[in-house]
Structure 1
Amino acid sequence: MILGIIIACEVGFWAAILSGLAARYILGAKRLGTALLLCAPLIDVVLLIAVTVHLSSGAAASWHHGLAALYIGFSITYGHRMIAWADTRFAHRYADGPAPSKLAGARYAQRCWGDFLRTLGAAVIAGGILAAITWWIDDPVRTEALTRWNGILGIVVAAEFIWALSYTIWPRKLSTSTVQNLSTP
């Protein structure tokens, strides 16, 4: 049940974003677009309530509940950036906005470190949600699956750290075609 709700929330998240951007750039309805974009964070609240109600009704926690916490953490820390990413592409495609820029070198490494901080924040939020649910349910047998997620969160943060460190040591270079496109007036 929870896995289906997580999938529905992910679909709903992107549906809110895409319909908001379509309203803004294709229909020219900026207020409607903004209202639809504001619905995206509400989907996280729906998911959190669904998980809490499900566990409060006596269900045993499963990996699905941990996935929900991880989804909420990443949605909170990366949500604005994902919307900005999609907004840039919609503006370029439908409103003659500037082309999305491709970062390289120190600027790309800086973005990677920002992603590391976002991922760390997502792990802290997810861990906090898992801890709060574990405390709320107050039954170690029913919430055992939630405590296993702490190791997974640590692995995710470590992988993001290695990613950022690697691009700091070996900076990303722009491709030849990108350099030619940038130099062409």
Structure 2
Amino acid sequence: MNSTNRVMNRALLAVSGLVLLAAGALAAGAGLMPGIRDRWGATGAGLLATWHALLPTAPAPEPLGSWWALAVPALALIGAAACVFWLTRQGGGRTGTAALAQDAELGDTSVDISYLAAAVEDALEGNRAVVGTSLTAWRARTNRDGGTALRLTLQARKGASPRPVADIAEDLVEAMDGLLGHQPTVLVRIGSGTRTKLAGAHRAG
């Protein structure tokens, strides 16, 4: 329900996993097999010699010595900045508007998510099967229903039957449809949390 690019994330995770797996296999092989260890040593020595030969090709004033010595940390900083930018782009999409209706004559009408959240809490007042609720709105990836989708989370009391809690969620969704005047996309999650573990078990009768 957020703006995270899942395809790109999965591709990056797959590539990172393969790189780490290969590095781990090579490290294990270097520790167990002398031939691989010797090849690693020769490769490292060759790379070090190449680096020393590359430094004089781009001389720079002291104490820098070579522009290559500046290029490597600069590339590392650029990579770190790209990673930070990528992290800040994850998630997102959350909004405080549950619904938005636009009319050329009457103007725009918006429903704040806090209004629906308060209505949900009022509807569950005195209910023994649910100990906590959460209602959030997210900008949907399509323009359906004003471009907003809702996520309703119910924390069931310990020992409560799942069926009545599911019926409660269905009734809440129907009530929200009536309040908004249309049927938004609603993701319902029934789970447990700290409040569920601390709350007493629900006993019938």
Task: State whether TM-score is above 0.5.
Answer: no
TM, length-normalised to structure 1: 0.25
Q: Which has the higher contact order (CA 8 A, sep 6+)?
A: 1
More helix by share: 1
Larger of the two Rg values belongs to structure: 2
